Structure 1
Amino acid sequence: MMSMCKQLQPTVHIPPCGLNLEAFNSRRQKNKVVIVMGATGTGKSRLSVDLATLFPAEIINSDKMQVYEGLDIVTNKITVEEQRGVPHHLLGMVKNPNADFDAEDFCDEASEAIDTITDRDRLPIIAGGSNSFIEHLVDGLDYSFRAKFECLFLWVDVSMPVLHTYVSDRVDEMVRNGMVEEVRRMFDPDASYNRGIRRAIGVPEFDRYFRDEMLYDERTRARVLQEAFNEIKDNTCKLACRQLGKIHRLRSRDGWSLHRLDATEVYRRRGKGAEQTWKRHVAAPSAAIVEQFLRNFVPAVSRPTPTIRVPAMAAAASR
């Protein structure tokens, strides 16, 4: 599947920082973890790979649907080519499409992956849109995670009106890349949409179409299919609003110090100049923040940022 973020490949080159994590072991009391957050479609996977090609790092997926095997188009799973040789953990690891994978499961698997990565003196980068998973990992279990690890939070943000336009176009691109047939192969009229990978946006919306398509004439079939596409777009926009609302709650209520990277202009451009805009507004600032983090500096951008108003739709969705 092609998406806007993926269309911007190849990622612009950022000069390596030349850091060796092993050199910091004797100077730090805690191992370090970078966490990349943001609403769906904002470029979290891309940024995590950008960083992992600059620093000795490996990536841990925190998207609750991408942990499952299959439905690569629907879940917008990063391809092997886009991974650019960077090891990824918790990606397509759950083989049973009906199995539940909850926050506790994520904490167990992510903790094991983090320990494995840090034992090799490499930097774990956690990236994904399931903020509840990340919150449970970082602040759950009597805050034992924070006692063991020092966390850096990067937040890739895009203006909601701009992001909504993008995710709508992304659904159209998913359709062109075979989303309908991908979901059709997994369709089971007796399966539940309340568990496993079938909970993913882009699966239950096709239920009516797959059940009754043989009963429709050509015109009705096209109309019902278009209604499914529109519902997927609407549900994806609502998900983005909920994710943004969750991020704002973590910043305000729980006091998480998130470094905001504004990628709005990248999404406005989408073509000419988008590469340099991504580098200037997202990739290069993030690399500088991570380098300072690894050198035990306090990044200048860690100073409190101005309050960002949550759009009305996001505020409503977060209640």
Structure 2
Amino acid sequence: MAAHLARKASPLVVIVGATGTGKSKLAIELASKFHGEVVSADSMQVYHGLDIITNKVSAAEQTACPHHMIGFVDPLVSTYTVVDFRSQALPLIEDILLRGKLPFIVGGTNYYIEALLWDTLLTSNTSTEMSSSAAVATERASRTELLKLGSSELYRRLEEVDPEMACCLHPRNVRKLIRGLQVYEQVGIPWSSLLRRQHEQPGGGPLSGPLRYPDACVLWLYANQEALDRRLDERVDQMLAEGLLEELQSFHRHYALAKFDFQQGIFQSIGFKEFHDYLNRPLDCSVQESEKLLQKGIEALKLATRRYARKQYKWVKNRFLQRPQNNLPPVFGLDATDPSLWEKAVLEPAVSIVESCLQGETPVVSAMNMEPQNHSSKQLRFNCDFCSKIIIGERQWHAHLRSKGHRYHVKKNRRKVTELAKTVEHNPLNETLELQRPSDGETSQ
């Protein structure tokens, strides 16, 4: 492969997947072969320190090819945002392309990757203000005040300023309720209106604006969940063998006077908060109690890592595989379940895919064919009057209908079932509800 790219377009390779599937390994191998450079899109790896716990690539691995966006933010900085990352990473990517190199974006922070792949009206409109520490501090102060209100009051306020978005959100989804209120506060127009403008942009879609790099492709590393769980547990054991506890203790001593906030900065890292009780055990703590706290931290770290892997997998499915849109890059699945088959199952297909993309050809295998498609781009909202619950999403709604708790409440009030069934029959929106109407006479809204 020539060191200089022949295409005039702007190719970009993005490597996604759950933690432990080998994203960094593949990025290094591909960047070495194609004379590329790696751009990390990991919100914890931008911070200096805690190299083991944030799973940074080693110094030896970084010599194989240039790496960027790793270990350059002070650990006590809590105002570094996705907008800061985007503002630094985009010029860096452009520089890599101008030098005739191929950028490989690799990471597990979903919103960092989204910020690079898509242009969004919200971040475009607020990037100047949001890049300043003062504005970030103001936003967080606003969030703190909103958190004091409780979900009911947050929902009521969102209904006033953005009833369309409120209708799509669960009344107890505090994070998104606050987001909706802050968008209105920052921009002056409803969040739903911004999303609609994104959808109407040339090349835009229901979840974002147009692609920044139309020639980008996504390599998705996936693995059997049971096998991945075992691998992740083994990786935690390996991290401990490499000096994880010593790293945490050194970091803890160095920043002992700092106020730890596990919702901010590097202190959000999986692993730091899990060992908090162990690191803060009293000096007179017995050996037995100390060992108990240590084992508790190890098990908590393993559990949190497995949960995070599932969250990453869910994001890939929701963002790339189950929402057919016109502004999605092609996604190619690579089975990383068996490390002994890495060359054949991952590396060789990945090389073939990248070569095809560089030559302007369409690779044969796409991950879009590997997952069932969900042709609904908008989550449906359902009211269950029997259980006094609001359910968001058709799949969740049907799962609720099959639950023992729901059937129990239905049996307790058969009269209400009959009355609600009659209400549906006379509903002027009956044609819309027909496809959504569940069994047993429940109504959906």
CA drift of 1:302 comes to: 3.0
Determine if the alignment matches structure 1 residue 94 to structure 2 residue 73: yes
CA drift of 1:141 comes to: 2.5
**Deviation sequence 1:39-87 (CA, Å, 0-9, x none):** 0111000000110111021010001111111101101110121234300
Alignment of 1:45-84 (within 5 A): 45-84=24-63
AA of the residue aligned to 2:51: D
- CA distance in structure 2 between the partners assigned to 1:204 and 1:99 by the alignment: 16
- CA distance in structure 2 between the partners assigned to 1:104 and 1:147 by the alignment: 15
TM-score, structure 2 length as denominator?
0.60
Q: Counterpart of 1:24 in 2: which secondary structure?
A: coil
1:172 is matched with which residue: 234, 237, 242? 237
- CA distance in structure 2 between the partners assigned to 1:207 and 1:179 by the alignment: 13
- CA distance in structure 1 between the partners assigned to 2:67 and 2:231 by the alignment: 26
- CA distance in structure 2 between the partners assigned to 1:263 and 1:308 by the alignment: 20
**Deviation sequence 1:104-133 (CA, Å, 0-9, x none):** 122111101101101101111100111121
Q: Percent identity?
A: 31
AA of the residue aligned to 2:323: R
Partner of 2:92: 113
**Deviation sequence 1:225-269 (CA, Å, 0-9, x none):** 100010000000000000000000012126443100001022xxx
For this pair of structures, how many residues does the alignment match? 281
1:132 is matched with which residue: 111, 114, 119? 111
| CA distance 1:156–1:118, change in 2 (3 Å) | same
1:206 is matched with which residue: 275, 283, 306? 275
Determine if the alignment matches structure 1 residue 289 to structure 2 residue 341: no
| CA distance 1:141–1:152, change in 2 (3 Å) | same
Q: Is the 8 A contact 2:15 2:106 kept in 1?
A: yes
Partner of 1:195: 264
CA drift of 1:24 comes to: 2.0
CA drift of 1:20 comes to: 4.5
Structure with the larger RCO, 1 or 2 (CA within 8 Å, 6+ apart): 1
Q: Is the 8 A contact 1:64 1:101 kept in 2?
A: no
TM-score, structure 1 length as denominator?
0.83
Q: Is the 8 A contact 1:39 1:241 kept in 2?
A: yes
Q: Is the 8 A contact 1:36 1:156 kept in 2?
A: yes
- CA distance in structure 2 between the partners assigned to 1:163 and 1:303 by the alignment: 19
Partner of 1:252: 322
Q: Is the 8 A contact 1:107 1:136 kept in 2?
A: yes
Q: Counterpart of 1:86 in 2: which secondary structure?
A: coil
CA drift of 1:185 comes to: 1.7
| CA distance 1:214–1:97, change in 2 (3 Å) | same
CA drift of 1:95 comes to: 2.4
| CA distance 1:60–1:147, change in 2 (3 Å) | closer
Q: Is the 8 A contact 1:36 1:154 kept in 2?
A: yes
CA drift of 1:212 comes to: 1.7
Unmatched 5+ stretches in structure 1:
1-17, 267-273, 310-314
Determine if the alignment matches structure 1 residue 42 to structure 2 residue 21: yes
- CA distance in structure 2 between the partners assigned to 1:44 and 1:201 by the alignment: 18
Q: Is the 8 A contact 1:137 1:145 kept in 2?
A: no
Q: Is the 8 A contact 2:40 2:69 kept in 1?
A: yes
CA drift of 1:285 comes to: 0.4
Larger radius of gyration: 2
CA drift of 1:97 comes to: 3.3
Q: Is the 8 A contact 1:259 1:302 kept in 2?
A: yes
Backbone CA RMSD of aligned residues: 2.1
Q: Is the 8 A contact 1:292 1:298 kept in 2?
A: yes
| CA distance 1:147–1:68, change in 2 (3 Å) | closer
| CA distance 1:124–1:145, change in 2 (3 Å) | farther
1:229 is matched with which residue: 277, 294, 298? 298
CA drift of 1:308 comes to: 6.2
Determine if the alignment matches structure 1 residue 261 to structure 2 residue 334: yes
Q: Counterpart of 1:237 in 2: which secondary structure?
A: helix
- CA distance in structure 1 between the partners assigned to 2:281 and 2:219 by the alignment: 45
Determine if the alignment matches structure 1 residue 157 to structure 2 residue 222: yes
Partner of 2:191: none
- CA distance in structure 1 between the partners assigned to 2:213 and 2:350 by the alignment: 23
- CA distance in structure 1 between the partners assigned to 2:269 and 2:350 by the alignment: 30
Q: Counterpart of 2:95 in 1: which secondary structure?
A: helix
**Deviation sequence 1:149-177 (CA, Å, 0-9, x none):** 42110001111111111111111111111
Q: Counterpart of 2:274 in 1: which secondary structure?
A: helix
Q: Counterpart of 2:280 in 1: which secondary structure?
A: helix
AA of the residue aligned to 2:358: L
| CA distance 1:233–1:146, change in 2 (3 Å) | same
Determine if the alignment matches structure 1 residue 182 to structure 2 residue 251: no
4+ long deviations beyond 4 Å? 142-145
Q: Counterpart of 2:281 in 1: which secondary structure?
A: helix
